Structure 1
Amino acid sequence: MSTRLPARLPARLSAVAASVALLTAFALPAASASAGAGAPTVNLVTNPGFELPSPNLADWGSIPGWNCTGGPAEAAVTTTAAHSGTSALTVTPANADSTGECAQTVAVQPDTTYTASAWVRGNFVYLGATGTGRDVAPAWTETTSGGWQQLTTRFTTGRNAHSIRLYVHGWYEQGPFSVDDVRVNGPAPAPATAAGSIPTTDKVVFFTVDDGWTRTPEAERFIADHHLPITAFPLPMPAGTDPDFFRRVTSVPGSSIQDHSVSHSDLSKLPLEQQQVEICDARDAMTRLFGTAPVVFRPPYFAWNADTLQAAANCGIRTVLTADADFSWGASNIWHPGPLQPGDVILMHWTDTLATDLPRALAAADAAGLKPAGLIDYLH
């Protein structure tokens, strides 16, 4: 909600609450056939019970899966009086201008009905979704009288909706509130596609560069001088340390910055829920830093499983990409017979050898009659 209520006017709070209730009653869509009819119903929320640990290398005080406007100064996972399990989210707005909003992006299917719910505790707590294409008013409660109360709302996505923004927040000067057991129930997106190369008959290859810990002016200069389209897969921590570097090295048309997880862990050893935190939180970090949401995920160590493909899809990722050639750290490994072929994906890393790895990869592409191209331009 965008209009701020005057401070300390409980009567006006009640009037606004009644208006929202009336709007909700008329705005809820009727149950109807949808694109996801017959598909299994699952909970699409990342870290719905606030039980999952933060990945290594995550921002201090961040809530896995969630973006809270006030950061750790307002929002924290607490272990007292949870609705279920051992943890809940408690938000204490830091000043009179804050509602203490926490939100996350949830991947959905178009033309599909979803039910959102959350257990809340406090005064004037709201649950809603934006970006559905057919927005409805949020669910809310004037007070939970010290206990837990479930808020529920339903929405049907528009024909072009592939993600929604789920949010919970309190209200101005109404004190702290708690949230637990959040759900968006409905059919999951189809699993992402795994690929090691890009099907094409064009005489092109794709240069991809991972991690980001070592950034050299020599590599940056070679990329600029040769006008190379680069697909970068940095981790959030080095990307956040030097975002201007990554903007510069991906300034050639066709270049992009994609998702490589938060902690560079072997995701195949993690359950789906933790994989989803790794991928979604890295997606959110890249989006905040560079303004465009990733659509490609590079699994660390090329380690992935079926859960990785579903977790990636739940984060709005279309492709889980490995590679079929490695030119990192002085190597020249092509993992198929013969020279490089059209559509090959070449792996490199942001290291102190990249300035010599790039020309070696470029020479191998030239010898095969191939040229580097923008990866994102070839994904459909």
Structure 2
Amino acid sequence: MSTRLSALAASAVLFAAVAVPAASAATGDPARQTGQNGQNGQNGQTGQTGQTGQTVNLATNPGFELPSPNLADWGSIPGWNCTGGPAEAAVTTTAPRSGGSALTVTPAGEDSTGECAQTVSVQPDTTYTASAWVRGDFVHLGATGTGRDVAPAWTETTGGGWQQLTTRFTTGPDARSIRLYVHGWYQQGPFSVDDVRVDGPAPAPAVARGSIPTEDKVVFFTVDDGWQRNPEAERFIADHHLPITAFPLPMPAGGDPDFFRRVTAVPGSSIQDHSVSHSDLSKLPPDQQQVEICDARDAMTRLFGTAPVVFRPPSFAWNTDTLQAAADCGIRTVLTADADFSWGASAVWHPGPLQPGDVVLMHWTDTLATDLARALAAADAAGLRPAGLTDYLR
């Protein structure tokens, strides 16, 4: 056995001895009892002590069956971030455990384990069970960010077949998300993954709002999309010290992240979630909605360092599935608006002028500088001032 493998075995045995609860490689198939491939399970005990409710699979694209959204990075795995990218990880249709496909990872170099991971939103002080079916040698399943040490589940070999790895953990008092990962080991060849689960209590759906309840004389300026980034709007925001809530799509945000950092530099500003592809989410099934929201959340977090807590549905198209999908991605608020000042408009969708708590919609376009000026004038006329949106969310 190589030095790396010896170190792996020794550290895993030690970690398993001290970690509570311990991890295991299971041979049963609870997925067949509670649903597979993202079909959330049945009512039953939650992981939270003393409470009952619906236990569901919280993993995004757990069976690797979902298509990549339009405008997604080429070769990306919906719901997953693989360190080696498409050079290592791919969805394949060769001998999946269930459904039509599975994830196959071939570490490209001797220093790669071929890790793929996703962020899963969790509740504090709550017990979860993570599991995955794997095929290959020295495959691992684990979670970080739980707030408490938890040993990974791993197997020396699956003997060419599929084997289930299972680990159980209880989150700490401050845990709001965990990083679920699967990986192989150095120079141990390819491995496959299918039917991933993170079983725990379903979070409460996000709250839909078109305005923010407040008695303060404030309004909230929100700007969507990000395809046109003109310097006039940037100067206007800086000169007037405007707090802006930006909802860019990942592709334009990734193409010019410094622009979005500059236009949200005023205190109270933030960058939030607007989906990956700008699709009508009300026409998508729940699991695809979750990919759209979670993958955009992950992109914004990687680019700007802070996870979004607000989701703006494209074209304001959403349904009750959107509220649950948003909650599964750690989003607290699904936000529309009650005024539109985009492209020269001055539409207020309630009687009278702007009111305290109104959310004003605009877009990153070549008219944004004049749109902002017109919106600011309307706010001034109503005795209101722009304020930071997230400062007022409860």
Q: Report the TM-score, using the length of structure 1 for normalisation.
A: 0.95
Q: Distance in 2 between matches of 1:289 and 1:281?
A: 12
Q: Deviations over 1:254-307 (max 9, x none)?
A: 111000000000101111100000000000110111111111000001111111
Q: Deviations over 1:173-230 (max 9, x none)?
A: 1111110000001112111111111111111000000000111111111111111100
Question: Is residue 125 of structure 1 aligned with residue 139 of structure 2?
Answer: yes
1:278 counterpart residue number: 292
Asked whether the 8 Å contact 2:310–2:333 carries over to 1, the reply is yes
1:288-367 equivalent positions in 2, closer than 5 A = 288-367=302-381
Question: Is residue 86 of structure 1 aligned with residue 78 of structure 2?
Answer: no
Asked whether the 8 Å contact 1:205–1:345 carries over to 2, the reply is yes
Aligned with 1:172: secondary structure? coil
2:193 counterpart residue number: 179
Asked whether the 8 Å contact 1:69–1:102 carries over to 2, the reply is yes
Per the TM alignment, residue 39 of structure 1 is displaced from its structure 2 partner at its CA by 1.4
2:178 counterpart residue number: 164
Asked whether the 8 Å contact 1:328–1:347 carries over to 2, the reply is yes
Aligned with 1:100: secondary structure? coil
1:375 counterpart residue number: 389
2:41 counterpart residue number: none
The aligned amino acid for 1:20 is A
Aligned with 2:139: secondary structure? strand
CA pair 42-92 structure 1, distance change in 2 beyond 3 A: same
1:66-85 equivalent positions in 2, closer than 5 A = 66-85=80-99
The aligned amino acid for 1:264 is H
Q: Deviations over 1:16-67 (max 9, x none)?
A: 3365246325523399972583111100000000000000000000000000
1:243 counterpart residue number: 257
1:197 counterpart residue number: 211
Q: Distance in 2 between matches of 1:123 and 1:190?
A: 39
Which one of 103, 106, 110 corresponds to residue 96 of structure 1?
Answer: 110
Per the TM alignment, residue 358 of structure 1 is displaced from its structure 2 partner at its CA by 0.5
Asked whether the 8 Å contact 2:339–2:347 carries over to 1, the reply is yes
CA pair 32-173 structure 1, distance change in 2 beyond 3 A: same
Which one of 227, 234, 246 corresponds to residue 241 of structure 2?
Answer: 227
Extract unaligned runs of 5+ from structure 1.
1-8
1:208 counterpart residue number: 222
RMSD over aligned Cα atoms: 1.6
Q: Deviations over 1:95-145 (max 9, x none)?
A: 011111000000111111110000001110000001111121100000011
Which one of 48, 60, 75 corresponds to residue 46 of structure 1?
Answer: 60
1:145 counterpart residue number: 159
The aligned amino acid for 1:187 is P
Q: Report the TM-score, using the length of structure 2 for normalisation.
A: 0.92
Per the TM alignment, residue 327 of structure 1 is displaced from its structure 2 partner at its CA by 0.3
Asked whether the 8 Å contact 2:312–2:334 carries over to 1, the reply is yes
1:4 counterpart residue number: none
1:6 counterpart residue number: none
CA pair 268-35 structure 1, distance change in 2 beyond 3 A: farther
Q: Distance in 1 between matches of 2:103 and 2:166?
A: 18
Asked whether the 8 Å contact 2:233–2:369 carries over to 1, the reply is yes
Asked whether the 8 Å contact 1:14–1:142 carries over to 2, the reply is no
Q: Distance in 2 between matches of 1:35 and 1:378?
A: 32
Q: Distance in 1 between matches of 2:292 and 2:344?
A: 29
Asked whether the 8 Å contact 1:35–1:110 carries over to 2, the reply is no
Report the count of equivalent residues.
372
Question: Is residue 105 of structure 1 aligned with residue 119 of structure 2?
Answer: yes
Q: Distance in 1 between matches of 2:7 and 2:259?
A: 51
The aligned amino acid for 1:361 is A
Q: Distance in 1 between matches of 2:298 and 2:365?
A: 25
Question: Is residue 28 of structure 1 aligned with residue 42 of structure 2?
Answer: no
Asked whether the 8 Å contact 1:227–1:252 carries over to 2, the reply is yes
2:78 counterpart residue number: 64
Q: Deviations over 1:307-365 (max 9, x none)?
A: 10110011111110000000001111111111100110000000111111010000000
Aligned with 2:197: secondary structure? strand
Asked whether the 8 Å contact 2:221–2:361 carries over to 1, the reply is yes
Deviating runs (4+, > 4 A) in structure 1?
30-33
Per the TM alignment, residue 163 of structure 1 is displaced from its structure 2 partner at its CA by 0.8
Asked whether the 8 Å contact 1:109–1:188 carries over to 2, the reply is no
Q: Distance in 2 between matches of 1:232 and 1:195?
A: 17
1:5 counterpart residue number: none
Q: Distance in 1 between matches of 2:7 and 2:88?
A: 27
Q: Distance in 1 between matches of 2:106 and 2:4?
A: 22
Which one of 9, 25, 28 corresponds to residue 17 of structure 1?
Answer: 9
Q: Distance in 1 between matches of 2:363 and 2:263?
A: 13
The aligned amino acid for 1:285 is A
